[in-house]
Structure 1
Amino acid sequence: MPLHQKLKAWQHAQRLAVECVKAARGFPDYEQEALGDQLRRACYSVPLNIAEGSTRRGTREHRRYLDTAWSSLAEVQTALEIARDVGYLEPADYGRLEALAVETSKTLYGLLRKISDSSARLSTPR
């Protein structure tokens, strides 16, 4: 199993991406190329950047990919809120997806902290 697949942050992000793609299929046809595409791109970005970052040797570069994943996750959450507010998502579906997004954010934040703590230890003069 590749390293990134062992990461809880990636596992949650992957599940969120799959569920968001399924939800976006229910958007009206006229929104498929707008909000639907934006949601799909953002939700793909989260697990993809976690995976790519996990292959980087340098802490700074790894952190950069995780920061991109974090930003994309905020974009996913905002797209979900818009979809809910305009009636493309039922409240229960939004609640389920938002819960997945929150769980993803918690584990991704933990990974970001771990990387930051590791970086601080490495750069501290002895």
Structure 2
Amino acid sequence: MNFEKLEVWKRAARLSADVYKKTAYLKDFGFRDQLTRSSLSVPSNIAEGMTRESNKERLRFLDISRSSLAEARTQIYIGIDISYIDKNIGAQWINETIELSKMLTALKSKIKFDS
């Protein structure tokens, strides 16, 4: 399956790019790097998983993507609380991580059903 055609991959890549752009000003490099790494992990693992031969491997990488979404969401909540991330932007990102997680769950179900 061509991962570039997956809406979940497209949206995850856009979220990651947005996180990079909107946190570039942060001087707390540890926080910024952790958040950008977790957000970058999502589309990267979708891409890697969807190019694997076996469904078992695909599902494993989609699980990693979903876990990275939870990690990023946690960091976003903290970023909002410590005023690193604007509340409105953070709320948008949190909603997007929730939607992406649902999309990954649906994709996993489709892969399981098709096998």
Same fold (TM over 0.5): yes
Give structure 1 regions of 4+ aligned residues with deviation exceeding 2 angstroms: 116-119
- Tell me the secondary structure at the aligned position of residue 26 of structure 1: coil
Structure 1: tracts of 5 or more residues without a match: 120-126
Deviations 1:15-58 (A, max 9, x none): 1111111122132x1x11x1111011111110000001111110
- Tell me the matched-pair count: 115
Instruction: Provide the identity percentage.
Output: 37
Greater RCO, 1 or 2 (C-alpha within 8 Å, sep 6+): 1
Larger CA Rg, structure 1 vs 2? 1
1:1-126, aligned counterparts within 5 Å?
Answer: 3-27=2-26, 29=27, 31-32=28-29, 34-119=30-115
Tell me the amino acid that sits aligned with residue 104 of structure 1.
Answer: L
Distance 2:112 2:66 in 1: 14
Contact conserved, 1:4 with 1:54, CA < 8 A, in 2? yes
Tell me the amino acid that sits aligned with residue 56 of structure 1.
Answer: R
Contact conserved, 1:19 with 1:97, CA < 8 A, in 2? no
Contact conserved, 1:50 with 1:66, CA < 8 A, in 2? yes
TM-score (norm 1): 0.84
Distance 2:5 2:36 in 1: 23
Q: Report the Cα offset of residue 99 of structure 1.
A: 2.2
TM-score (norm 2): 0.92
